């Protein structure tokens, strides 16, 4: 049990380091992949609702700490996302990679849409503009990163040492 907690804590720290320092290096016109949402979905589908919601809450609080006015909004959205993905996975088969990529695409788009809607005080015109400009591209980029991560996770990499 203690080993699983240590691995979980390491995953949280690595996600924070990646999203904070390295995501901007692979950004395309200020559009970055949302590694937090990808990991919330991954943990929810592979480890269960508990891991997904805890990771979503922790990463949401850390992500929202940059703007004290919206502190907690990202955490609530990520926890709700984990719950929706979990209950949806019980009703619909999400074992195929296509389904997982589509869940990431839709989740990132909806997450960002709701976030912008609340952040802009329900100004629909600004929310639609920002969603088209950033949220949809962010969702497509996150889905592309998910395809790469799924490919790497299924590929069996072995190291051969020769004397």
What are the Cα distances from residue 77, in Å, to 32, 37, 41, 53, 156? 18, 10, 12, 10, 34
Percentage of residues in the chain having pLDDT higher than 70? 93
User: Worst-scoring range by mean pLDDT, 50-54, 89-93, 138-142, 147-151?
Assistant: 89-93
Give pLDDT, residue 34.
Answer: 85
Give pLDDT, residue 53.
Answer: 94
Q: Does residue 35 sit within a domain? A: yes
Q: Does residue 148 sit within a domain? A: yes
Which range of residues forms the domain containing residue 138?
2-154
The span from the CA of 138 to the CA of 106, in Å, is 11
The DSSP line for 82-144 is HHHHHHHHHHS---SHHHHHHHHHHHHHHHHHHHHHHHTTT-HHHHHHHIIIIIHHHHHHHHH
Mean pLDDT value of segment 69-88: 90
Q: Does residue 159 sit within a domain? A: no
| Among 94, 105, 116, 115, CA closest to 141 | 105
Mean pLDDT value of segment 144-163: 69
Q: Does residue 40 sit within a domain? A: yes
The token pair that represents 120 in the structure block: 């802009």
Q: Does residue 64 sit within a domain? A: yes
Mean pLDDT value of segment 8-37: 83
Q: Does residue 16 sit within a domain? A: yes
Task: Grade residue 159 by pLDDT with cuts at 50, 70 and 90.
Answer: very low
Give pLDDT, residue 42.
Answer: 86
User: How many structural domains comprise the chain?
Assistant: 1
Q: Is the pLDDT of residue 64 over 90?
A: no
User: Worst-scoring range by mean pLDDT, 26-30, 35-39, 143-147?
Assistant: 26-30
Burial status of residue 88 (CB atoms within 10 A of its CB: 0-12, 13-18, 19 or more): middle
Give pLDDT, residue 76.
Answer: 93
| Among 44, 52, 62, 26, CA closest to 148 | 26
Kindly report the pTM of this predicted structure.
0.83
CATH number of the domain within which 45 lies:
1.10.1760
Q: Which residues pair with 31 in a beta bridge?
A: 28
What does R_g of the chain's alpha carbons equal in angstroms? Answer: 16
Q: Which residues pair with 28 in a beta bridge?
A: 31
Q: Does residue 114 sit within a domain? A: yes
Mean pLDDT value of segment 102-129: 89
Residue with the larger pLDDT of the pair 27 and 162: 27
């Amino acid at each position: 049990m203690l080993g699983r907690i240590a691995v979980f804590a390491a995953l949280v720290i690595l996600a924070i380091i990646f999203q904070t320092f390295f995501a901007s290096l692979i950004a395309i016109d200020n559009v970055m992949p949302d590694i937090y949402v990808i990991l919330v979905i991954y943990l929810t589908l592979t480890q269960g609702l508990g891991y997904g919601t805890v990771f979503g809450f922790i990463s949401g609080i850390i992500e929202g700490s940059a703007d004290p006015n919206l502190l907690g909004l990202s955490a609530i959205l990520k926890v709700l996302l984990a719950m929706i993905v979990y209950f949806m996975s019980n009703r619909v088969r999400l074992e195929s990679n296509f389904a997982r990529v589509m869940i990431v695409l839709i989740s990132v788009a909806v997450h960002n849409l709701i976030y912008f809607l609340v952040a802009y005080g329900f100004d629909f015109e600004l929310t639609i503009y920002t969603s088209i400009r950033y949220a949809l591209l962010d969702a497509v980029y996150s889905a592309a990163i998910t395809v790469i991560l799924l490919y790497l996770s299924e590929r069996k990499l072995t190291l051969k040492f020769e004397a």
